[in-house]
Amino acid sequence: MRTPHAFALLAAAGCLALTACNPQAADTGAGTSPAPGATAPAGSAPAGSAPVPPKAGRTTAAVPDFVGQVLQDAQDGAQAAGFYLLSSHDALGKNRNQVLDRNWKVCTQTPRGGTTTGTDTKIDFGTVKNEETCP
C-alpha cells in the first residue's frame, strides 16, 4: 500500500524539479523596474495608440486599408503584405467570435491603413456580420 504513495511523491518531486530548472518560468520580470530611458516592448501599447516606431533591423511595411473588405480577404491581404500577427473583434460589442471569417466584414482596423510600421505589429480588425451595418 505504500508503493502508490511513494510513486506519487516521487512523480510530484520530479515535476517540481523540472519546473525549477526552466529558466523561462523563472524570468517573469516581476519585481523588476525598467532601466532609465528604457522604452516599452513592441506590442505593449494600448489599443488605438500610435504604432511603435521601427527598431534598427526591423522590417517595416505600409499597412493596407482593409475597411469594407470581407474579414477573410483582409486577413489574406495582411499576410500578403507581411503582417502575420492578426486579431479581430466584434465591433458591435456583442463579444461574438468570428468563426467563419467570410461571414464578417471589416469596419475598423488598428493601425490605420496607410501607416508604415514594423511587420511584427499586430493588426486588429473591428468586424460585424456581412448583413449588419458598421457602427
30-46 pLDDT per residue, tens:
444 444 444 444 444 44
What are 76-123's pLDDT values in tens digits?
Answer: 999 999 999 999 999 999 999 999 999 999 999 999 999 999 999 999
Model-level pTM greater than 0.85? no
Whole-angstrom distance, CA of residue 32 vs CA of residue 75 = 37
Neighbours of 121 (CB within 10 A): 21
Please give the grid coordinates belonging to residue 21: 530548472
Cβ-contact 84, 59 below 8 angstroms: no
Whole-angstrom distance, CA of residue 2 vs CA of residue 25 = 33
CA distances from 89 to 95, 106, 108, 122 (A): 7, 10, 10, 13
